[in-house]
Structure 1
Amino acid sequence: MFVGYVVLALLLAVVLAMSGFGKLTRDPKITASLQKAGVPLHWFPPLAGCEIAGAVGLVVGIWLAPLGVAAATGVTLYFVGAVVAHLRARDLAGLGAPVVVLAVAVATLVLRLAA
């Protein structure tokens, strides 16, 4: 279980770091998707901070299990919010990525709890 957590945590951390960086630099694809979901531009830096903190927490959680659990829980809740935001805006086209990342976050949480 631990090896599975490490693999998923590192993969998810890379995705979160790239997404956070994309929000900070206002990547056009990310910006368009979030604006379709009704996310204002001034929310981008705090959202990016949450993603980067989650990435760091998942990696450090390899050695500190409670931090790994907390980070995986936070990332799961973050992406539950992302899915809800896309559903509320009826942005079904933008729903794919958050659903996939949510599934990976849940799997990461389950593996960290089981390890």
Structure 2
Amino acid sequence: MHTTYLVVTLAAIVANAGIALADFARAKFVLANSAEVGVPPSWVPWLATMKLAGAIGLLLGLLGVQVIGIAAAIGLVLFYTGALITHVRARVFYNIAFPGGYFALALAAAALAVAQ
């Protein structure tokens, strides 16, 4: 179980840190997707900060601060639940797999962290 927890959590850290960096860089695909689902460009840095904070929290969980890791994973689950709801409300389904994938990673990391 520990190896699975380690692999899944590392994947969630890399994924969230990577997309946060793309958000901070205001990558074209980030701004296009945000506009398509009705998220104002001014929100992108704040959302990136939350993603990066979640990744850092997951890392702290791996380094032994388990309560922070669990809280970060739950925070990311809630964050990506909001992203999925935003996609559904905007009726943008062709790329819903992206927030769905991040949601699944966060959910798996949370479940595995609690099971530790």
Equivalent position of 2:94 in the other structure: 93
Distance apart, 1:114 and its partner CA: 0.4
Equivalent position of 2:16 in the other structure: 16
Distance apart, 1:94 and its partner CA: 2.3
Q: State the superposition RMSD in angstroms.
A: 0.9
Task: Give the gaps of 5 or more residues in structure 2.
Answer: none
Distance, in Å, in 1 between the alignment partners of 2:104 and 2:22 is 21
TM-score scaled to structure 1, two decimals? 0.96
Alignment of 1:54-69 (within 5 A): 54-62=54-62, 63-69=64-70
Identity %: 34
Distance apart, 1:14 and its partner CA: 0.8
Alignment of 1:9-88 (within 5 A): 9-62=9-62, 63-88=64-89
CA-to-aligned-CA distance 1:34-57 (integer Å, 9 cap, x gap): 211111000011100000000000
Amino acid at match of 1:71: A
Amino acid at match of 1:78: F
TM-score scaled to structure 2, two decimals? 0.95
Q: Which 4+ residue blocks in structure 1 deviate beyond 2 angstroms?
A: none
Instruction: Give the length in aligned residue pairs.
Output: 115
Task: Give the gaps of 5 or more residues in structure 1.
Answer: none
